[in-house]
Amino acid sequence: MTTIEVRDVHQQFETFEALKGIDLTLNEKRIGIVGSNGSGKSTFARLLNGLLVPTRGEVLVDGLDTAKNGKAVRRKVGFVFQNPDNQIVFPIVEEDVAFGLKGLKLPAAQRDALVEEVLDRYGLGAFRYHPSHALSGGQKQLLALAGVLVTRPDCIVFDEPTTLLDLRNARKVSRVISELEETVIIVTHDLKLLENFERVIVFDQGKVIADDEPSRALSHYVERMQ
C-alpha cells in the first residue's frame, strides 16, 4: 500500500500562499479532503502525484520525492480531474484508454485486452469506438477513471468527482469509487461520498484544521462553516 508523506509543504502562487505548512502522512485506504472554497484542497491534491511541486517542503510517495521522480510517482498515484474534459484527450473512447498504456510498450493484443476489460468494467464496452465527446457527463467521468485505472496505480486521487454530475450519475460514480480496491483520496464537497471512509482532513485558508475519523472531522467542519 502506498504511503504519502507531506512534509512542511508550502505552496506560493506569486504573492498568495495557498498552502501554509502542511505535515501529513497518508496511508489509509480511504481519505477524504474537505474545506471551504479556496481553502487549498485542489492545490494539495495536485501535489500528491507531482502534478504540482511544492514551493517549500517535500512530498514523498513511498519515499520517492515528487519533485525529482515525477514519472515514477505518477505510476503509483493516478489523478482524476473534476472535469473529465480536461483529461479525455483522444477523439475515440478506446484510444483514450489506450493512451494511458502507451509508456508500457505492451504487445498490441495485450493492450487491446486491457482496454476492453476496463471499458467493460465501467459499462463502456458498447461505446468502445464512439467519439469520446459524445458520451454523457457520467460516462465521461467513468472514461476518465478508466484511463487512469488501466495503468494500475496503487492510489487514485479524485478532485471533486461528482460535482458536475446529476444525482443518478453521481451515485453511479460514487458506487464505482466505493468498489475500488485501490487506495482512494477524494477532494469533495459531497460529504455523503465520505461515508465509511477511515479519515477526513479539513482544510481552511491553506491549513489543516481537523484530521480525524469522518464523523468528528465533519462535525468540526460543519461547526466551522456556521
Interacting residue ranges for ligand ATP, rule: CB under 6 A: 13, 16, 18, 35, 37-43
Name the residue nearer to ligand ATP (CB basis): 42 or 87. Answer: 42
The least distance separating ligand ATP from the CB of residue 131, rounded to whole angstroms, comes to 29
Helix intervals (H) in the chain: 41-47, 70-76, 93-99, 108-121, 137-149, 167-179, 214-224
CB of 155 to ligand ATP, least distance (A): 19
d(CA 158, CA 141): 11
Amino acid (one-letter) located at 15: T
Sheet of strand 207-212, all strands in order from the earlier edge strand to the far edge = 77-80, 155-159, 183-187, 30-35, 199-204, 207-212
Q: Half-sphere exposure of 200 toward its Cβ, with a 13 Å CA cutoff?
A: 23
* Minimum distance from residue 12 beta carbon to ligand ATP (Å): 9
Cβ–Cβ under 8 Å, residues 47 and 54: yes
Q: How far is the CB of 71 from ligand ATP (least distance, A)?
A: 22
In the bound state with ligand ATP, the residue whose beta carbon lies nearer, of 22 and 118, is 22
Q: How far is the CB of 200 from ligand ATP (least distance, A)?
A: 14
Choice between 144 and 202, CB closer to ligand ATP: 202
CA dist list (Å): 81 to 60, 89, 134, 157, 217: 21, 13, 19, 9, 24
Which among 49, 58, 54, 60 has a CA at the least distance from the CA of 5? Answer: 60
Work out how close the CB of 119 gets to ligand ATP at its nearest, in angstroms, rounded to a whole number: 30
The Cα 226–Cα 224 span in angstroms is 6
Output 12 or 178, the one with its CB closest to ligand ATP: 12
Q: Which is nearer to ligand ATP, 94 or 160 (CB)?
A: 160
Choose between 1 and 225: whose C-beta lies nearer to ligand ATP: 225
Length of the chain: 226
Q: Which CB atom, from 70 or from 125, has the smaller least distance to ligand ATP?
A: 70
Q: Minimum Å distance from CB 37 to ligand ATP?
A: 3
